[in-house]
Amino acid sequence: MPNPKIILKYVLLLATVTATAQYTDVINSNRPGVSRSAFSVGKNVAQFEVGPYIVKEEHTPLKNEASGFGVDFAVRYGLLWEQLELNIEGTYQNDTFTDNRSSSFPVETDRANFRELTIGAKYLVYDPYKKRGEEKPNLYSYHANKKFKWSNLIPAVAVYVGVNYDQKNNTYVPYSNPFTSPNYEGGFKPKVMIATQNNFSSGWVMVMNFSKDRIGSDFSDFQYIVTLTKAINEQWVLFGETQGIKSDYYADNLFRFGGAYLWGRNFQLDTALTFNTKDTPSVFGVNFGASYRLDFHKDPEADKDNGTDVLEEYERKANKKKKKKKKKDGDSDNPDDSGKRKKETQEIDFEDED
């Protein structure tokens, strides 16, 4: 019968490896919310995230409304290092804008363009979970390993730098000055963001984003997003999110609620509702989305033989360490010492692993 102490070591070790690695065994999507995780998808991983939606907006004071559909999308790729991710993100919308200021003759305008189209790079600059993973677990107390620690409040931090491209005369982008410059020339505008992430116990995760978009334009905006997710089990996740937008042209507070279902290790489905609490304009949206990844990730620490799993790798290193120690100490003429060393080599030393 296996030694319970050894089994516990294996379980805690595997949990540590899973929690602290940049790459995860199952897909790690930014959906169904709009916040961005601090962690990348992992080196040599290509990930696709897409979400069609329907939306209805109504501006009561200005007597106009818009209704239609759109799709938000993202292509993410881990390049060179585990901490680095390149991505292309955007939102394309097609709707009908109706001006009701004249009750007898409402004016309808069909619109179709990118609300956002951004290319950029995200880099994880600080990962507290890597250091915590090096802490030795308490093998004699389950509660000691699960209790709250103040160090858990220190988040992982990533920085993002990108550019947002707007086409000329994009109707979703306000003009710099509608009186002197009635046509928006479009072009590239910088975007920066700081993303933080806390992974708490019992499946709770909190992500926060602070971003400045279209820097240098008269309609540059500041946004913050706070997302809280809860893993119900290995397949279902629920989330709630708040998004604040502030600029000289537009300000809003949006709320989202929804969930995601892990269909397979590389495929996720999700849905969410979006709404606000004001009428300038009022916003209501429903979206359905999916995320899929092409996983070409290779663990640099793994054995060259792809058939070697994590536990076998640690056991091989532990046994190698023991053999080196035995060779250094030399053979003993004392039969009791020989038997003692033989007994010790049957145990795996997790505290001295490489």
What is the helix (H) or strand (E) element at residue 129, kind and residue range? helix 128-133
| In-domain check, residue 135 | yes
> Mean pLDDT throughout 192-208?
91
Share of the chain above pLDDT 70, in %: 69
Amino acid occupying residue 158: A
Q: Are residues 126 and 216 in the same domain?
A: yes
Q: Are residues 247 and 340 in the same domain?
A: no
Q: Are residues 318 and 280 in the same domain?
A: no
In sequence order, the 6+-apart residues with CB closer than 8 A to the CB of 137 are: 12, 16, 145
Q: Are residues 48 and 131 in the same domain?
A: yes
Label residues 168-184 b or e (16+ Cβ within 10 Å = b).
eebbbbbbeeeeeeeeb
| In-domain check, residue 351 | no
For residue range 160-188, what is the model confidence (pLDDT) as tens digits?
999 999 888 888 887 555 445 555 677 89
| Residue 259 contacts residue 269 (beta carbons within 8 Å) | no
Cβ count near 351 (within 10 Å): 8
For residue range 62-89, what is the model confidence (pLDDT) as tens digits?
888 999 999 999 999 999 889 999 999 9
Q: Are residues 195 and 336 in the same domain?
A: no
Please return the burial class of 99, using the count of CB atoms within 10 Å of its CB with bins 0-12, 13-18 and 19+: middle
| In-domain check, residue 301 | no
Place of tokens 């990118």: 114
Q: Are residues 266 and 338 in the same domain?
A: no
| In-domain check, residue 349 | no
For residue range 6-29, what is the model confidence (pLDDT) as tens digits?
444 444 443 333 334 467 888 989
Q: Are residues 180 and 328 in the same domain?
A: no
- pLDDT category at 354 given cuts 50, 70, 90 is very low
For the chain, the first-to-last Cα distance in angstroms comes to: 28
Place of tokens 């600080």: 126
For residue range 30-43, what is the model confidence (pLDDT) as tens digits?
998 999 999 999 89
Please state, rounded to an integer, the average pLDDT across all residues of the chain. 79
Amino acid occupying residue 134: E
| In-domain check, residue 9 | yes
Place of tokens 């003692």: 340
Q: What is the DSSP letter of 177?
A: B
Q: Are residues 89 and 153 in the same domain?
A: yes
What does 237-266 look like in DSSP terms, one character per residue?
A: EEEEEEEEEE-SS-EEEEEEEEEEEEEETT
pLDDT at 328: 60
Q: Are residues 232 and 97 in the same domain?
A: yes
| In-domain check, residue 285 | yes
Planar angle of CA 195, 12, 203, nearest 5 degrees: 40
What does 289-312 look like in DSSP terms, one character per residue?
A: EEEEEEE----TTS-SSTT--HHH
Number of domains in the chain: 2
For residue range 141-151, what is the model confidence (pLDDT) as tens digits?
555 555 666 66
What does 38-89 look like in DSSP terms, one character per residue?
A: SS---BTEEEEEEEEEEEEEEETTTTEEEEEEEEEEEEEEE-SSTTEEEEEE
> Mean pLDDT throughout 286-310?
72
| In-domain check, residue 303 | no
For residue range 201-235, what is the model confidence (pLDDT) as tens digits?
778 999 999 999 999 887 789 999 999 999 998 89
CA dihedral 166, 168, 172, 178 (to 10 degrees): 120
Half-sphere exposure of 287 (CA within 13 A, CB side): 31
Q: Are residues 70 and 115 in the same domain?
A: yes
pLDDT at 10: 43
| In-domain check, residue 352 | no
What is the helix (H) or strand (E) element at residue 338, kind and residue range? helix 335-344
Give the span between the Cα atoms of 22 and 43, in whole angstroms.
9
Give the span between the Cα atoms of 191 and 21, in whole angstroms.
28
Structural domain of 82: 4-295
For residue range 266-277, what is the model confidence (pLDDT) as tens digits?
999 999 999 999
Give the span between the Cα atoms of 207 and 256, in whole angstroms.
14
Q: Are residues 233 and 332 in the same domain?
A: no
